């Protein structure tokens, strides 16, 4: 296993200057991996960013930023088109950066909530599967695996559970479409974190972590021993990335409902979280 941290812990939007500033810092902290959110794929010089990341001996993973207008199951076909175009660009950017992963809630705009009958949900599921089939073929060509992430009920009404994501992944049935499990969201929605990890099983390709309050791993109510045991049980040996946010970044803080500091500083959250995870996972 390799341990990483998202640049969203410190700042947004992510630019080449941000990567140049934080890559050496993240490496010096002892992380293996830097996670780059792709808010504006067109605005990044990915080749230059990759050189910086590699210079500091870091692996890289990428996540999608599903902001306004990025929604591939929206009833408006023009919004669907924009969402697909964004994800296609994000796949190319992730590949150019050297990532194997594009993770995130790639189905809909974060924060869009809508009620569905069972019949309407089936229509949305079928649409998502069709869209992911197109994206997965594109991703496979570029060596990228799309990792679909469930969000908590306050951020989406569509995919909240590992079981719901697994159903979609199995319908897509492409090697380049897998599961991203985020323990913050799972800690709200799942009955048992270990069971969720075991249910994901071989489909689990990316793991994001934070405490139940979205703070430092190991400082709250999540059952981390259960998590560690389940990961060992399924033979998970990929990236484990701390993903959370700082109240100092007003746009992200509002989007993620971060209304107070989650630690003494983002740096302390990162270093304390890293120390805890290394001990927990024996890596």
pLDDT tens profile 108-154: 999 999 999 999 999 999 999 999 999 999 999 999 999 999 999 99
Q: What is the mean predicted confidence (pLDDT) over 50-54?
A: 98
Q: Which residues contact 265 (CB under 8 A, 6 or more apart)?
A: none
The residue among 252 and 223 whose pLDDT is bigger is 223
Report the predicted TM-score, pTM, of the whole model to 2 decimal places.
Answer: 0.97
Average pLDDT over the chain reads 96
Please tell me the class of the 2-281 domain.
alpha beta
User: Where do the structural domains in the chain lie, given as residue ranges?
Assistant: 2-281
Residue 200 CA to residue 166 CA, distance in Å, equals: 7
Residue 253 has pLDDT above 90, yes or no: no
Residue 34 CA to residue 136 CA, distance in Å, equals: 23
Q: Which residues contact 29 (CB under 8 A, 6 or more apart)?
A: 5, 267, 270, 271, 274
Where does residue 157 rank: exposed (0-12), middle (13-18), buried (19+ CB within 10 A)?
middle
Distance of CA 141 to the CA centre of its chain: 21
**What residues form DSSP beta bridges with 207?**
181, 240
Residue 220 has pLDDT above 80, yes or no: yes
* C-alpha to C-alpha distances, 36 to 30, 82, 119, nearest whole angstrom: 17, 21, 37
Where does residue 49 rank: exposed (0-12), middle (13-18), buried (19+ CB within 10 A)?
buried
Residue 209 CA to residue 191 CA, distance in Å, equals: 17
Summarize pLDDT for 62-76 with one digit per residue, the tens: 999 999 999 999 999
CB atoms within 10 A of CB 199: 20
């Amino acid at each position: 296993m390799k341990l990483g941290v998202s640049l969203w812990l410190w700042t947004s939007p992510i630019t080449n200057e941000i990567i140049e500033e934080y890559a050496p810092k993240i490496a010096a902290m002892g992380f293996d991996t830097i996670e780059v959110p792709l808010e504006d794929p067109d605005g990044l010089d990915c080749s230059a960013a990759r050189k910086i990341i590699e210079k500091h001996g870091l692996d890289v993973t990428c996540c999608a930023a599903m902001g306004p207008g990025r929604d591939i199951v929206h009833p408006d076909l023009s919004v669907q088109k924009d969402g697909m175009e964004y994800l296609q660009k994000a796949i190319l950017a992730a590949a150019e950066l050297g990532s194997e992963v594009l993770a995130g809630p790639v189905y809909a705009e974060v924060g869009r909530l809508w009620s569905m009958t069972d019949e309407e949900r089936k229509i949305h599921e079928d649409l998502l599967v069709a869209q992911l089939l197109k994206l997965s073929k594109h991703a496979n060509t570029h060596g990228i695996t799309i990792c679909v992430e469930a969000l908590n009920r306050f951020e989406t009404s569509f995919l909240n559970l590992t079981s719901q994501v697994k159903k979609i992944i199995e319908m897509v049935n492409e090697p380049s479409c897998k599961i991203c499990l985020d323990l913050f969201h799972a800690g709200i929605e799942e009955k048992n974190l270990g069971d969720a990890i075991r249910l994901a099983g071989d489909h689990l390709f990316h793991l994001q972590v934070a405490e139940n309050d979205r703070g430092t791993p190991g400082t709250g109510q999540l059952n981390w021993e259960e998590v560690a045991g389940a990961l060992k049980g399924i033979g998970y040996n990929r990236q484990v990335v701390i993903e959370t946010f700082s109240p100092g970044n007003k746009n992200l803080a509002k989007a993620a409902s971060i209304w107070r500091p989650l630690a003494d500083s983002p740096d302390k959250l990162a270093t304390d979280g890293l120390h805890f995870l290394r001990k927990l996972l024996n890596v």
